[in-house]
Chains A and B, each alone.
Chain A
Amino acid sequence: GEDVEQSLFLSVREGDSSVINCTYTDSSSTYLYWYKQEPGAGLQLLTYIFSNMDMKQDQRLTVLLNKKDKHLSLRIADTQTGDSAIYFCAVYNNNDMRFGAGTRLTVKP
Chain B
Amino acid sequence: EAGVTQFPSHSVIEKGQTVTLRCDPISGHDNLYWYRRVMGKEIKFLLHFVKESKQDESGMPNNRFLAERTGGTYSTLKVQPAELEDSGVYFCASSHSSSYNEQFFGPGTRLTVL
Per the bound structure, the CA–CA distance linking A31 and B52 in Å amounts to 26
Decide: B103 and A42 in contact? CB cutoff 8 A.
Answer: no
Q: How far apart sit A31 and B44, CA to CA, in the bound complex (Å)?
A: 17
Do B107 and A41 touch (CB < 8 A)? yes
* Interface pair A101/B105, CB less than 8 Å apart: no
Known: A43-B91, A88-B43. A99 touches B35 (CB 8 A): yes
* Range class of the B interface residue count: 20 to 34
**Interface flag for B48 (CB, 8 Å):** yes
Within 8 A of B (CB), among A55-102: 88, 90, 92, 95-102
Number of interface residues of A (CB under 8 A): 24
The CA-CA distance from A54 to B46 in the complex, in Å, is: 31
- Given A43-B105, A92-B101, A101-B40, 20 more A-B residue pairs with CB atoms under 8 Å apart are A2-B42, A3-B42, A40-B107, A41-B107, A42-B3, A42-B4, A42-B91, A42-B106, A42-B107, A43-B43, A43-B91, A45-B102, A45-B103, A48-B102, A90-B43, A97-B101, A99-B35, A100-B42, A101-B41, A102-B43
Point out the residues of chain B lying under 8 angstroms from A102, CB to CB.
Answer: 40, 42-43
Question: A residues engaging B (CB < 8 A)?
Answer: 2-4, 8, 31, 35, 40-45, 48, 88, 90, 92, 95-102
Q: Beyond A31-B100, A42-B4, A42-B91, is A97–B105 a contact (Cβ under 8 Å)?
A: no
Contact A95 B42 (CB under 8 A): no
CB < 8 Å neighbour of A96 from B41, B45, B106: B45
Counting CB contacts under 8 A, is B55 at the interface? yes
Contact between chains at B56 and A95 (CB < 8 Å): yes
B88 within 8 A of A: no
CA distance A98 to B46 in the complex (A): 11
Enumerate chain A residues within 8 angstroms of B100, measured Cβ to Cβ.
31
* Cβ contacts B47-76/A at 8 Å (1 or 0 each): 010000001100000000000000000000
B56 to chain A: which residues have CB within 8 Å? 95-96
